[in-house]
A and B are shown apart, each in its own frame.
Chain A
Amino acid sequence: MIRSVTILRAGPALTIQDLGRPGWHAYGVSNGGAVDCMALHEGAALLGQTAGYAALEMHSFGGDFLIEGDCRIALTGAPMIAHLDGVTLAWNASHKVKHGQRLSIGAATSGVYGYLSVSGGFQTPEWLGSRSAHLAANIGGLLGAGDRLPVGDDPDEGAMSVFLRVPDRFSGGDIRVVATLHTSLFSTAEVERFTQTNFQRSLRSNRQGAALTFEGPPFTPEAGQSILSEPMISGDIQMTGDGYPFVLQSECQTAGGFARMAQVLPCDLPIVAQATPDKVLRFRFVTFEDADLAYQSYLTDLRNLRGQTRPLVRRVEDIRDLLSYQLISGAVTGWETDMPEDSK
């Protein structure tokens, strides 16, 4: 049977995202891909597949989905309230779904971007080696009710449902940055003030960048803003003409003429993307040596995710057809010791 997920009701910003399309910067196309790429890696680890598969990115709110064909799903990123035919589903976990079941994903309880991954990935059309919608470049677009997303073959149909303990990245906090192209155009005092300021990610943020608000005068380079346009990449913190910071994200423009104060480490960028406006962000400069080590250990952590998954056991009160289960075989023992935090 051909597997698919049909959107019955869509949240405000649903897009297909994978790890993006590197290699086209010279032609004006930024990498794009999931804003919180860590969530894609987690989804892939939960499903026992490589991280290159396309998933559904959901901004603030998911939607209702009809699943056709048996498959496995994984829910990662910003935790959202999720039900399968009315039964609560654990976040940061994989689940088996039967043909014809309805999946309902509601509002995020913390964070911004949630992800629905499927075994075999969404097989929507590829362009330049990626299925990611790139809204700023007019590639692909927002999904809506009625859209039917084909799903690939499950590489491991019999795999059991598992969960991951995921460190919190939805509460803001310290963001590590390194100096970048224009850091030295700002006075030492301005850079110092930048590191001592509490920032909040504003609701004006999108896949191009996170707009930050703060109390205090704008941040302006000593010689003013008359600098030549130079290449930009995600993570760069540019001070727009009015002196307000904008942390560039996956769909950023490929070049820009505003001064850039610093660059967020790739491993800390998801924390910026996932910060709701009530969370505080502080920037802390690290040396290139420390940044390289942090980046290296982040990549190692991503590779090790699969080994950290643990069997997911459903709570007895959630099992409607309890009598059909082989309780004696021990298949549902141990369910109290290893439950994911957010399903208790």
Chain B
Amino acid sequence: MTPRNPSSVKPTSMPSIRTVGLTGILVTFGDQLSEATNNAALAFQEAVDRLKIDGVTETSTSLVSTFVQFDPTRLSRTALQGQLRELAGSRDWSVSKDAVARRLWKVKTSFGGEDGPQLDEVAQLVGLTPEAAINQVLETRVRVITIGFAPGQPYLGTLPRNWDFPRLPDLIPRVPAGSLVVALRQLVLFTNDTPTGWRQIGQTAFRNFEPNSASPFRLRAGDEMEFVRVGQDEMRRCLADPTRATAAELVDLS
């Protein structure tokens, strides 16, 4: 047969509701990352969670979408799609106040040198001196747009428009855990040592993921983050402390 999945066509009217294989539904609020689309995705996820729909197994968000996983033996796909469509149409999710951050992380960061080998290259791409580029990052309060790829790993955004450059075509063989990397107006703070196409501009001692802790994931989508500049020597001291107690400060905004 020819596969025609009417619900998997490219989203034209927003929000769009599409199936992801047998057990997933994706509600998408825009075709480009913006604060409005990301707000909507986060607020809609909270609203779906509040409904406690029997048969929904888990929910999560991407940059512009809410992802709903379900058990098709307990909940019919059509019924769930209908319910999500009704909820999506019930209000304008992009202006939602639900997703306003309640927590701010101030993360110590050392920029450039061996802690940011691609800083000079990045400064050229954004049309600034390395110092001015660092200052632009320091002045921007970013938000956890989504968490993914590795445990607790945040995608942070968005940086000013001049930071809209692509990832590298070839992978850097290894950047260390805690490194601050950049592309596409977003920053990522790596959970593990990893090969990557993102350019490293700084190093933090922040751990996204503490497997032995009672709350192993430190960040939530919607959290805000600021970077506090420290020198390389201070960063070495932060990294040497096994508890990483001084790596970041958490401010409760609620």
* B62 partner, pick from A29, A230, A285, A295, beta carbons under 8 A: A230
The answer to whether A231 and B5 have CB atoms under 8 Å apart is no
Binds B, one of A6-14, A45-53, A164-172, A173-181: A173-181
The answer to whether A25 and B58 have CB atoms under 8 Å apart is yes
A141 to B126, CA, bound (A): 41
Residue A111, interface by CB 8 Å: no
* B59 partner, pick from A26, A184, A230, A287, beta carbons under 8 A: A26
Residue A107, interface by CB 8 Å: no
Residue B158, interface by CB 8 Å: no
A25 to B60, CA, bound (A): 6
Residue B79, interface by CB 8 Å: no
A28 to B31, CA, bound (A): 22
* B21 partner, pick from A23, A25, A27, A180, beta carbons under 8 A: A180
The answer to whether B58 and A181 have CB atoms under 8 Å apart is no
The answer to whether A228 and B64 have CB atoms under 8 Å apart is yes
The answer to whether A188 and B61 have CB atoms under 8 Å apart is no
Residues on B close to A: CB < 8 A?
1-5, 8-10, 18-24, 26, 31-33, 45, 57-65, 67, 69, 72-73, 77, 146-153, 191-192, 211, 216-217, 221
Would you mind naming 30 contact pairs between A and B with Cβ atoms under 8 Å apart? Answer: A26-B61, A26-B221, A27-B147, A27-B151, A27-B152, A28-B153, A28-B217, A127-B211, A128-B216, A138-B191, A139-B151, A178-B19, A178-B22, A180-B5, A181-B8, A181-B20, A183-B3, A183-B5, A184-B9, A228-B32, A229-B62, A229-B63, A231-B148, A236-B20, A253-B149, A255-B62, A265-B22, A285-B3, A291-B22, A292-B73
Q: Taking CB as reference atom, which chain B residue is nearest A191?
A: B3
Known pairs A228-B63, A295-B22 / 11 extra A-B pairs, C-beta < 8 Å: A26-B60, A27-B217, A28-B191, A127-B211, A138-B192, A178-B21, A185-B10, A228-B62, A231-B20, A253-B148, A299-B73
Residues of the A chain whose Cβ atoms lie less than 8 Å from the Cβ of B2: 188, 191-192, 285
The answer to whether B60 and A231 have CB atoms under 8 Å apart is yes
Q: Which bracket fits the contact residues of A?
A: 35 or more
The answer to whether A292 and B9 have CB atoms under 8 Å apart is no
* B65 partner, pick from A28, A230, A233, beta carbons under 8 A: A230
A22 to B147, CA, bound (A): 16
Residues on A close to B: CB < 8 A?
22-29, 127-128, 136-139, 178-185, 188, 191-192, 228-231, 233, 235-236, 253-255, 262-263, 265-266, 285-288, 291-292, 295-296, 299
Closest chain-A Cβ to B158's Cβ sits at a distance in Å of: 13
A29 to B153, CA, bound (A): 10
A258 to B61, CA, bound (A): 17
Q: Taking CB as reference atom, which chain A residue is nearest B217?
A: A27
* A231 partner, pick from B26, B73, B217, beta carbons under 8 A: B26
Which of A179, A185, A231, A285 has the most CB atoms of chain B within a 10 A radius of its CB? A231
- Given contacts A183-B8, A255-B146, whether A23 and B152 have CB atoms under 8 Å apart is no
* A22 partner, pick from B31, B58, B152, beta carbons under 8 A: B58
Closest chain-B Cβ to A211's Cβ sits at a distance in Å of: 17
- Given contacts A183-B3, A183-B8, A233-B21, whether A292 and B58 have CB atoms under 8 Å apart is no
